[in-house]
Amino acid sequence: MTVQTPPLHAAARALLADPLTNRGTAFTEAERDRLGLHGLLPPHVSTLATQIDRRRRALEALPDDFHRYAFLRELQDTNEVLFQALVQSDLPRMLPLVYTPTVGEGCQRFSDIWRRPRGLFLSWPNRGRIADILADPALDRVKVIVVSDGERILGLGDQGAGGMGIPIGKLALYTACAGLHPAEVLPILLDVGTDNAALRDDPLYVGWRHSRVRGPDYDAFVESFVSAVADRWPRILLQWEDFAGENAQALLARYRDRLATFNDDIQGTAATATGTLLSAVARTGAALSDQRILLCGAGAAGTGIATLLVRAMMADGLRPAEARARIWAVDRDGLVMAGQNGLSPAQRDFARDPAEIAAWSLAAPGRATLHEVAAAVAPTVLIGTSGRPGMFDRRLVELIADGCARPIIFPLSNPISHCEAHPADLIAWSGGRAIVGTGSPFGVPGVAQVNNVYIFPGVGLGALVAGAPRVTDGMFLAAARALGTMSSDDGLLPPVSDLRRVAVDVAVAVAAAAAAEFALPPVDRQAILRSMWTAVY
């Protein structure tokens, strides 16, 4: 004889299984009576503060940061409020565990620790079902999507379906810093295969076991995704993450005028670097337009930084050509030169005339290395987005420091294993005079972590509250300028503990820029604050 489960018990179990409704031991006695939770929970009624203490104790007992990352991911899939309350209770401690640098290993080992569904995997075999998948009523509240295809995860390369760790991590920070409700954010992985043979051969790999779909088929797949998203949520904010350079630039160019969308690796990185550079330049007493900027790494991130710096210098009065002339871009083949094969449109904007280096002392005529460019132009700013460790060696730093009293050096590549130099070495090699910012956290006093979390949550929040139909370069410049005014007494950037305030300040600036560009009603600070969710039961 089959025993039917009483409907109340089924509803109670569903309540505890849903991370958006589960409160665990924090359900009150009255709630347990009403919802049929007695017996499913231990009798003690906890406060949120007690739950945070319990989870923090368990977290710190784990052997390393990867296990802490996996612990926090499981907590997020169990109880969203508790997860966010724990993260927000100590952002300096939790940020490296939720996102960089630990998220890199989280992506590499995503299949090993996969337990419960989060977000959507839109795979090539299901390309005809995208609209049906998005139609789920549980997604009605979504306002922000972060999407990746997993091809260029940090500096780690193709991680296939494991790239889902990036959208999940970014959206956790949207909630922690910008106050987006967990039901309003949606991570998506476009699974078009992977060219990482080790992943395809791994019996635990959760993704589609096929080489990457490319060319027109890839473009058509992405088009069907974007069209379905725009139909489902006409006012959505869509953020692209960790696409390979060529696709990253092409997709941004293709869709930026169709909906509110941006690429954080290009535009978010650019705004964070520009804002931090403005803060650093202010410390030298000079102007941004007086700087000579040497850029090591001319991919999507590097040229994105250069493009926004040009816009910032133009706002200070330089003509476009004058601003571009202040930037020297070096890639794997040396100084980017006009006439080189295979240059992207963004790289062509910063390509130098071969006649310019004709009189330089070069080991190989017509090809200037990073060190040779530094010797010839005496840069005041050195920025690294190369993903190549050791690029900023002692000889290069001493060369730059010899010609500049306060050199500004930003090795921005992630994760730590791909950073161009250790910040302590940069400080030592420059005789303690360098102003240093890094992409990953190193724990070196006085060194800023030039982390996109200072920008993208506020950009998204400001665009949403303003009702901006597009996300523009002007909005990112407004975000960068706002960040550039927020330096603390002991650093180029505000402390990580202030990230929620930073997001509000950036959002106010972005909303004002959007209102000016699109003739929208003005948005004040109180409207921003009223829109933000707080992690409480």
Which residues are catalytic, by number? 99, 170
Could you give phi then psi for residue 23, rounded to 5 degrees?
Answer: -120, 0
Show Cβ contacts of residue 355 under 8 Å, excluding neighbours closer than 6 positions: none
Residue type, 303: T
User: Could you give the CA distance from residue 179 to residue 66 in angstroms, rounded to a whole number?
Assistant: 26
The closest of 142, 189, 172, 8 to 77, measured between CA atoms, is 172
Burial environment of residue 216 by CB neighbours within 10 A (0 to 12, 13 to 18, 19 or more): exposed
User: Could you give the CA distance from residue 326 to residue 460 in angstroms, rounded to a whole number?
Assistant: 30
Residue 45, both tokens: 């009624």
In residues, how long is the chain? Answer: 537
The closest of 385, 173, 146 to 243, measured between CA atoms, is 146
Q: How far is CA 430 from CA 238, 317, 393, 397, 424, in A?
A: 42, 32, 11, 6, 10
Residue 198: left if φ>0, alpha if ψ -120 to 50, beta else—which one? alpha
Q: How far is CA 372 from CA 316, 339, 347, 391, 430, in A?
A: 30, 20, 20, 13, 18
Could you give phi then psi for residue 371, rounded to 5 degrees?
Answer: -65, -40
Could you give phi then psi for residue 337, rounded to 5 degrees?
Answer: -120, 145
Residues 177/503, Cβ–Cβ less than 8 Å? yes
Residue 454, both tokens: 């200072």
Residues facing 488 on adjacent strands = 491
Residue 421, both tokens: 């130099």
> What is the residue-wise DSSP string for 391-460?
-S-HHHHHHHHHT-SS-EEEE--SSGGG-SS-HHHHHHHTTT--EEEESS----TT-EE--GGGTHHHHH
User: Could you give the CA distance from residue 537 to residue 331 in angstroms, rounded to a whole number?
Assistant: 51
User: Could you give the CA distance from residue 154 to residue 264 in angstroms, rounded to a whole number?
Assistant: 12
Q: How far is CA 397 from CA 269, 280, 382, 425, in A?
A: 23, 17, 9, 9
3-state secondary structure of 382: strand
User: Could you give the CA distance from residue 113 to residue 73 in angstroms, rounded to a whole number?
Assistant: 9
